[in-house]
Structure 1
Amino acid sequence: MSDDIAGILNEAEAKMTKTIEVTKEEFSAIRTGRANAAMFQGITADYYGTPTPLNQLASLQFPEARTIIVTPYDKGATAAIETALRESDLGVNPTNNGDNLRLVLPALTEERRKEYIKLAKHKAEEGRVAVRSSRANAKKAIEKLVKDKLIGEDEGVRAEKELEVLTKKAIDGVDAALAAKETELATV
């Protein structure tokens, strides 16, 4: 097989693997019954006029499964952090004791669990679309090699079959991550 085909397939596989990783990261930001740091990745607070990620403004501690203690590095940012947490989609109301903020995550209701599962399915579909996009780009590149007569048609067909195997593997990876997240969300 030509080096060009190997390069195209390797690049497609790398993009598909990255898509699976990104999808898993997006799943980790979806709240389950336990508190984790990934839940706070998308939260930014207005710090002296600049939207700043929460992890740059405060440390997070998890003394219990549903309790988080947020300790600001700068006490002047406490009010901004409190506002950002209250307005986030976590559904929490921070308690300010002067030194830090205490968050108690409410137990997930059945309705909220279903919303999160729906969100996870949406993120998984975005992952599948990204995988298919990588496949389409690689397929175009292979077809161009055949059209320009740099490789034979048989070689092009074999490369497309390999590409389909890579695509199926990547989509199965996204589906497996979705199944794990659904199980995690359904567990009470």
Structure 2
Amino acid sequence: MLEDLDNRMQKSIGALKTELASIRTGRANAALLDHVRVSYYGSEVPMNQVGNLSVPEPRMLMITPWDKTQIAVIEKAIMKSDLGLTPTSDGEVVRIMLPELTEDRRRDLVKQVKAVGEKAKVSIRSIRRDANDSVKHQVKDDGLPEDESKRMQDRVQKVTDKFIAEIDQIIEHKEAEILTV
């Protein structure tokens, strides 16, 4: 049971990291474009499937499309996205310059990061509740002794505390990254 608990909580941490990667900081990161979908020969595909994404400079993203005829489509997809970025191209590659973040925008991003972190904590607590319910059912159905039930619930709480602390650390790191000018 504790192995399953650990695996489920680890998946929540993975989802948190993935979501945080798509939140823009002052530095360019190819993960910013993960949720941008491109209409590529009739089907919507992720940006990383239409070309090579790279970060040649700290504030620049570069997309080298595998099919040069799709440059206009890639630019259009970036413009339509909620990133608020303007791509430029030279016929070979698409470049995206990331503007400097204003202090207000940094504060908004920190609020967004905290909200994502809180969502992850809620997920961890939900997993804890499921595990505790499972232990209580074992007491009723399988005749698990009360003291063993209490020990198992204490172990579940220790695992939960470990993952909550990890979330706090990840959020703190991301906030520092955003606030660094």
What is the TM-score normalised by the length of structure 1? 0.92
2:8 to 5, 15, 25: 15
> Which digits, 9 at most, give the CA deviation of each residue in 1:32-79, with x for residues without a partner?
111111111111111122111000001122221111221111123211
Shift of 1:80: 1.4
- Structure 2 distance, partners of 1:122, 1:27, is 11
Q: How far did 1:113 drift?
A: 0.8
Match of 2:104 among 108, 111, 125: 111
Distance 1:62 1:176 in 2: 26
List gaps (5 residues or longer) in structure 1.
1-7
Q: Which residue of 1 aligns with 2:24?
A: 31
Indicate yes or no: 2:89 matched with 1:96: yes
Partner residue in 2 for 1:50: 43
Mapping for residues 123-142 of structure 1, pairs under 5 Å: 123-142=116-135
Is the contact between residue 91 and residue 105 of structure 1 (CA under 8 Å) also seen in structure 2? no
Structure 2 unaligned blocks of 5 or more? none
- 1: distance between equivalents of 2:89 and 2:78? 12
State the match for 1:60 in structure 2: 53
Q: Is the partner of 2:125 in helix, strand or coil?
A: helix
How far apart are residue 24 of structure 1 and its match? Answer: 1.7
Partner residue in 2 for 1:179: 172
Q: What is the DSSP-based 3-state SS (H/G/I as helix, E as strand, rest coil) of the residue aligned with 2:39?
A: strand
Deviation at 1:133, TM superposition (A): 1.0
**Percentage of matched positions with identical amino acids:** 40
- Structure 1 residues 21-30 or 106-115, which shifts more? 21-30
